[in-house]
Structure 1
Amino acid sequence: MRKIRGSAFVSLDGVMQAPGGPTEDPTGGFAHGGWLPQFFDEDIGGAIDAFFGHDYDLLLGRRTYNIFAAYWPYVGGEATGIGEVFDRIGKDEGEAAAIEMGEAFTRANKYVLTRGTPELGWSNSHRLGSMDELRSIKEGEGPDLLIQGSSTIYPELLAAGLLDRLTLMTFPVVLGPGKRLFGEGTPAKGLRLVDHQVTRSGAVIATYEPGGKIAHGWAGPQSTSGREQARQHAIADGSW
């Protein structure tokens, strides 16, 4: 069975909107597009390389698909054969790496999870209208499905039990309002840490897998004081 693995760049306060550039996603008046590059280092680059280091298909939300489709096929110019051109003329290594990733994304199957009927003109793109359709893809043959960005699909993935692994790259910045990884509708779930790393720029790369149900209990002895009883009464009658 294929696995679904997610990766996201997030701030300390959980914002993941528009890390790559000022015009990437200004939804809601977001004013901090392009907040990631100042923290990018070799460790982050290595983690991204490792995430995309094997054969994969992409799983994307509709907005992230639109961002990708408008960018990755055109890095450096026309999409076809660009990697070979840049190898010949000796352009900047980072730009050449971006072109190589764009070509890999174009070759990969791209599954777009959406209830609408968007135009999917990028080659090898496929619409998925429900979690049941996604489950069928996951249970079929093929490489793992990788998510980059796409904040809106995580609540449903967690609720359906379809997310196998999640890598969060958390950066030392607080952004305030913006799209968050675990937004409205996220179910309560336990996660288990399977790997972690602190980068030289201060980012924390942590990888999680499903960890089962949340257990409830007291962190210390339960108070039975009169003040605690009064507090509980205030909670119950809505005056606390």
Structure 2
Amino acid sequence: MELWPLQVSLESPRDSDTPLSTSHRSSSVNGTREPDGVTFFIIQGLSSLGDRQMIPFVILLLGYVIILGGNSMIIFVTLTDPKLHSPMYFFLANFSFVDMLFTTTTIPKMLAGFLSDVSVISVPGCFLQLHFFIQLGVTSRAILTVMAYDRYVAICHPLHYTSIMTRRVQLLLIAGAWGFSTLYPLPVRIIVALMYAALSPFLNPVIYSLRNKELQESMRRTLMRFRPATVSAMKVVNIAS
């Protein structure tokens, strides 16, 4: 899927004979014009299918309906059946809820793209979708980790399982999974910024300069010129002492 910045105005059909302006963009909501700047991305990957777009549209729509229906059924059953009021099914219901949100961040936009000739997404919408895609993906992995810990306690400490995995502990584990996924993008951005600010300048001389043979020879010649002066200075110091 390719993203291209859209810097042209989206004209109505009655204006289709008029050349598209590259200096302003017509708002699809109220018809106002905004200053220059990239405000949309054109998604071209879906339009390349041509008349065959309905085939993946139907397949993806059926898959999305199955995902929503299956996970909704799991949540409903675990909440209404008293026999399933255990930590394992509590975590499973939360995992199903996150799965529904995770797929909803991308699939509806893809379905809409199959039904339109030109699929566009705004710059804030693109970054917002990416944020929730990463956050919910990390949340699902964190809940899987919590479920693995729950099974570990149930298998390795069966006699203390009930006293360990209390309702309060369950809520704390789920809150920790959501909190970790919320804070995860921030540390990643900090680490990337530090690597870009410190590691890249540190490695650039090694990669681009010190591996250059001409530069190495020049550095050797420079050091050789300084060596006699250093030896002479040391002799003068020894004589003076």
Give the TM-score normalised by the residue count of structure 1.
0.25
Between structures 1 and 2, the one with greater helix share: 2
Between structures 1 and 2, the one with greater strand share: 1
Determine which structure has more spread, i.e. the larger CA radius of gyration.
Answer: 2
Give the TM-score normalised by the residue count of structure 2.
0.25
